[in-house]
A and B are shown apart, each in its own frame.
Chain A
Amino acid sequence: MIEARGLTKRFGDVVAVDDLSFDVRPGTVTGFLGPNGSGKSTTMRMIMGLDAPAAGTVSVLGRRYHDLPWPLREVGALLEAKAIHPGRSARAHLLTLARSNAIPRARVDEVLELVGLTSVAGKRAGKFSLGMGQRLGIAAALLGDPGVLLFDEPVNGLDPEGIRWVRTLCKNLAAEGRTVFVSSHLMAEMALTADHLVVIGKGKLIAETSVSEFVARSSRQSVKVRTPAPHQLVDAVTNAGGQVIDDPDGSLTVTGLSAPEVGDLAASIRVALHELTPVASLEDAFMELTEEAVEFRGGQ
């Protein structure tokens, strides 16, 4: 359980996190979604007590992180990839963390095995790829078998297999009743991994909702339609204020009208429909909700 209340962080004149309140509950994967530079990492650092908030509070398991007696047994975090001394081995890195929190040495080898780094555990970490660095970070997070896990952009630098592995890991951890908070700027990734979402843009909370609700709230919902009389339907839809895109497979994608509206419209002009499927991409929903809040806009 993570509870943020009015969390605010300023860097000089820049407000990185602005009055942010949200809850992260156990037993589900909560996605922390926002464009790059929206304050996700800063928020995670504040949860971990590494950055001090300018205002507001955040608690983990009802306490400030600072007050956790054995923090690594309560909270595991992957905050940045390859945050390891290049001259130190993966095993030694984990061993220093284990020593500080009275975690048995044998657990170090267990988590190394778990993330698939056993064969390189004694090698200097400077030679690690970004993906191996991520795996080591995840191993460090799992070291204390904690009930709360924070992963900041965990799939960065991972190959497709690694991405799937992280996805499954997150879901399994949540299924065991743990609190799992995963940040990403990739909406598609969140759609596959998360059950709940905390969406931020420019440091402000945009939405705190389930993934399905988040998608449903999008007005950019589109409807996939198949009909033997496309021309008549296109005219009717256009007249009703919708837009139509011809898809290569012969179907039409209608935006601006809901699925029931398209169905009613087709009935009113006596056009048969072979398919009527509401389609909403999380990507679209995300883009729409953060449009106002994107910090850095590319192009033009």
Chain B
Amino acid sequence: MTAVLGASTPLAVEQEPGRVGLRRAMSAEWTKLWSVRSTMWTLVATGIAVVGLATLSTGARSATDIVDDPTRLSLIGIFLGQLIFGVLGVLVISAEYGTGTIRATLSAVPRRPVVLLAKVLVFGAVALVVSEVFTFIAFGVGQAILSAKHAVGPSAAIAQHAHQLGLKVPPKLKGLLPTTGSASLGQPGVLRAVIGAGLYLAVLGLLALGLGTIIRHTAGAIAAFAGVVLVLPLIVQALPTSISNAVARYLPANIGLVMFSTNGLPDRVGPAFSPWAGFALLVFYTVVILALGCWVLVRRDA
């Protein structure tokens, strides 16, 4: 079109003959994500929840307490953080329906799966980076508090016991056995648990995005998300043990618990998947929800 009405900037993109694609859509989503204050505020609130609860839960331990799993104790704030993070995931798409900008978005990028994929990749990447930062901070803060208290951890107790019995601890293992109830990243399973906590948080954010895509209404999608992570575990707990033992391991919240524990689930929860098997299942849930969301997005009028 001839440039008029103030159109002095040449618009032609001869160097890009193709069409609106994933890269452009992602660039738009990036701008969208950071141009509203709610993004920063929900991320900050998630950080406060994750790190703040690490401080509280570890700070509440006395020096003589035996800490079952110091890593898990410092990461327990994930369960609060996931709710706030879920809100952000939902908002990534539900805010577009609430404000009507979805029409502008889909006019600019008519291939709807591309729009959803762009949202998943951009929000997913931000979620992952931010989650990992939060979980590492929470772990560091929590362990610093525990080690300052010299609380006695189970491995430390074992080490002391072994020493008293005159058993020889192999030098290789010596470094792994802490003298207090705090954990360090070098101990078995600890790094995996801290990374796993961040992965769990990020994937749950994407699960929330999927729910938002299906439900479209902010309040409804948040309620559904809270139902999955909060209400479902309560229902399962209320079931007879034989059933709850069979079902509990499939719950996202329990998968998360295993992922950021170094010694499996607490006994009360029953049998569980291994951390990575659980994670694979969680990713599978999320992919299914997102695929359903994509189907709804393509099929239903905007």
Contacts and interface: CB of A to CB of B under 8 A. Distances in A.
A99 interface: yes
B119 to A, nearest CB: 12
A88 B100 CA distance: 13
A142 to B, nearest CB: 7
A93 B100 CA distance: 12
Chain B facing A: main interface SS = loop
B5 A142 contact: yes
Contacts, number: 141
A117 interface: no
B106 interface: yes
Contact of B11 (A68, A87, A144): A144
B110 A65 contact: yes
A146 B99 contact: no
Nearest to B2: A176
B97 to A, nearest CB: 11
B28 interface: yes
A234 B20 CA distance: 68
Contacts of A50: 103, 106-107, 301-302
Contacts of A144: 11
B7 A110 contact: yes
Of listed B5, B29, B36, residue having the most chain A CB within 10 A: B5
A140 B101 CA distance: 11
A80 B18 contact: no
A48 interface: yes
Given A48-B107, A70-B20, A80-B100, A102 B13 contact: yes
Contact of B31 (A95, A113, A169): A95
B174 interface: no
B99 to A, nearest CB: 5
A88 B35 contact: yes
B181 to A, nearest CB: 45
B173 interface: no
Nearest to A64: B110
B116 to A, nearest CB: 14
A142 B37 CA distance: 27
Given A83-B101, A85-B95, A85-B99, A99 B11 contact: no
Given A69-B20, A178-B1, A96 B11 contact: no
A294 interface: no
Contacts of A178: 1
B32 A96 contact: yes
Given A68-B110, A71-B20, A80-B100, A110 B13 contact: no
A101 B32 contact: no
Interface in B30-77: 30-32, 35-38
Nearest to B109: A100
Contacts of B96: 85
B104 interface: yes
Given A85-B95, A96-B32, A142-B5, A66 B111 contact: yes
Contacts of A45: 103, 301-302
B6 interface: yes
A169 B2 CA distance: 16
Contacts of A31: none
B199 interface: no
A142 B2 CA distance: 13
Contacts of A172: 4-5
Interface string B1-28: 1111111111101001011100011011
Interface residues of B, number: 44
Nearest to A51: B301
A37 interface: no
A177 to B, nearest CB: 8
Contacts of B106: 49-50
A49 B103 CA distance: 10
A14 interface: no
Contacts of A65: 107, 110
B118 to A, nearest CB: 9
Contacts of A287: none
B11 A97 contact: no
Contacts of B110: 49, 65-66, 68, 71
B302 A173 contact: no
A269 interface: no
Contacts of A173: 5
Nearest to B36: A87
A83 B1 contact: no
Interface of A: 45, 48-52, 65-66, 68-73, 75, 77, 79-80, 82-89, 92-93, 95-97, 99-104, 106-107, 110-111, 113-114, 140, 142, 144-147, 169, 172-173, 176-178
Given A83-B100, A87-B38, A92-B31, 6 more contacts: A50-B301, A100-B105, A144-B11, A172-B5, A176-B5, A177-B2
8 contacts: A48-B107, A69-B18, A73-B11, A96-B35, A101-B24, A101-B108, A104-B11, A110-B7
